[in-house]
Amino acid sequence: MTNPLLAPWDTPFGLPPYDLIEDAHWMPAAEAVLSEAREAIEAIAADPEAPSFANTIAALEMADEGLGRVFGAFYAMAGADSSPARQALQRDFAPMLSAHTSWVIGNRELFDRIDALWLARETLDLGPEEARVLMLTHRRFVRAGAKLEGAEAERMAEIRARLSVLGTQFSQNLLKDESSWTLPLSEADLADLPEGLRSAARAAGNEAGPVITLSRSLVVPFLQYSPNRALRRQAFEAWIARGMNGGETDNRAIAAETLKLREERAKLLGHDDYASWKLETEMARTPEAVRELLQAVWTPARAAANADAAIYADMLHADGHEGPLEPWDWRYYAEARRLTEHEIDDGTLKPYLQLDRMIEAAFSVAHRLFGIEAREIEAPVYHPDARTFEITRGGEHLAVFVGDWFARPSKRSGAWCTTMRDQHRMGGQEVRPLVLNVCNFAKPDEGAPALLSFDDARTLFHEFGHALHQMLSDVTYESISGTSVARDFVELPSQLFEHWLEVPQVLREFATHAETGAPMPEALMEKMLAAANFDQGFATVEQASSAIVDLEFHCGAAPADPMQRQAEVLEAIGMPRAIVMRHATPHFAHVFSGDGYAAGYYSYLWSEMMDADAFEAFREAGDPFDAETARKLEAHVLSRGGSEEAGLLYERFRGAMPSVEALLRGRGLAA
Q: What is the pairing mode between strands 416-421 and 434-441?
A: antiparallel
Q: Please, are residues 304 and 669 in contact by the beta-carbon 8 Å criterion?
A: yes
C-alpha count within 13 angstroms, C-beta hemisphere, residue 327: 18
441: pLDDT strictly greater than 80:
yes
* Residues 6+ positions from 165 with CB-CB distance below 8 Å: 91, 94, 95, 98
Q: Please, are residues 328 and 312 in contact by the beta-carbon 8 Å criterion?
A: no
DSSP 357-368: HHHHHHHHHHHH
Confidence at 153, pLDDT banded by 50, 70, 90: very high
Which pLDDT value is given to residue 1? 66
206: pLDDT strictly greater than 90:
no
State the Cα–Cα distance between residues 317 and 334, nearest whole angstrom. Answer: 14
Neighbours of 74 (CB within 10 A): 23
Q: Which DSSP state fits 242?
A: T
Q: Which DSSP state fits 638?
A: I
Query: Strand pairing partners for 387?
Result: 403
State the Cα–Cα distance between residues 20 and 434, nearest whole angstrom. Answer: 18
Q: What is the pairing mode between strands 372-377 and 396-406?
A: unpaired
671: pLDDT strictly greater than 80:
no
Query: Strand pairing partners for 390?
Result: 375, 400
> By CB neighbour count within 10 A (0-12 exposed, 13-18 middle, 19+ buried), where does 628 fall?
exposed
State the Cα–Cα distance between residues 117 and 49, nearest whole angstrom. Answer: 13
* Residues 6+ positions from 663 with CB-CB distance below 8 Å: 297, 605, 608, 609, 612
150-180 helix and 252-268 helix, angle to the nearest 10 degrees: 160
Q: What percent of the chain has pLDDT over 70?
A: 100
State the Cα–Cα distance between residues 52 and 105, nearest whole angstrom. Answer: 19
Which pLDDT value is given to residue 208? 84
C-alpha count within 13 angstroms, C-beta hemisphere, residue 237: 8
Which stretches of 415-502 are DSSP H helices?
454-471, 491-498
* Buried b / exposed e along 217-227 (16+ C-beta atoms within 10 A): bbbbbbbbbbe
Confidence at 86, pLDDT banded by 50, 70, 90: very high
pLDDT (tens digit per residue) in 112-146: 999 999 999 999 999 999 999 999 999 999 999 99
Q: Please, are residues 126 and 643 in contact by the beta-carbon 8 Å criterion?
A: no
State the Cα–Cα distance between residues 563 and 250, nearest whole angstrom. Answer: 12
Residue 269 — φ and ψ, nearest 5°?
-95, 10
Confidence at 532, pLDDT banded by 50, 70, 90: confident
Q: Please, are residues 225 and 194 in contact by the beta-carbon 8 Å criterion?
A: yes
CA proximity to 513, closest of 342, 335, 357, 338: 357
547: pLDDT strictly greater than 80:
yes
pLDDT (tens digit per residue) in 207-243: 889 999 999 889 999 999 999 999 999 999 999 999 9
Query: Strand pairing partners for 434?
Result: 400, 421
Of the given ranges (156-160, 199-203, 568-572), which has the lowest mean pLDDT?
199-203
- Alpha-carbon torsion 173, 175, 178, 182, what sign? negative
pLDDT (tens digit per residue) in 590-636: 999 999 999 999 999 999 999 999 999 999 999 999 999 999 999 99
Average pLDDT over residues 49-61: 98
State the Cα–Cα distance between residues 49 and 545, nearest whole angstrom. Answer: 54
State the Cα–Cα distance between residues 150 and 224, nearest whole angstrom. Answer: 57
- Side chain identity at residue 410, one-letter code: S
Confidence at 36, pLDDT banded by 50, 70, 90: very high
CA angle 248, 577, 544 (to 5 degrees): 80
Q: How far is CA 288 from CA 168, 284, 664, in A?
A: 31, 9, 20
Q: What is the pairing mode between strands 387-393 and 372-377?
A: antiparallel
196: pLDDT strictly greater than 90:
no
The residues that are catalytic are 463
Which pLDDT value is given to residue 552? 98
Which pLDDT value is given to residue 128? 96
Q: What percent of the chain has pLDDT over 90?
A: 93
Q: Please, are residues 417 and 424 in contact by the beta-carbon 8 Å criterion?
A: no
Confidence at 345, pLDDT banded by 50, 70, 90: confident
State the Cα–Cα distance between residues 445 and 197, nearest whole angstrom. Answer: 11
Phi-psi region of 273 (alpha: psi -120 to 50; beta: other; left: phi over 0): beta
346: pLDDT strictly greater than 90:
no
pLDDT (tens digit per residue) in 228-237: 999 999 999 9
Which pLDDT value is given to residue 27? 98
CA proximity to 584, closest of 611, 605, 563: 563
Q: What is the rounded average pLDDT for all residues in the chain?
A: 96
Greatest Cα-to-Cα distance within the chain, rounded to the nearest angstrom: 83
Average pLDDT over residues 319-347: 94
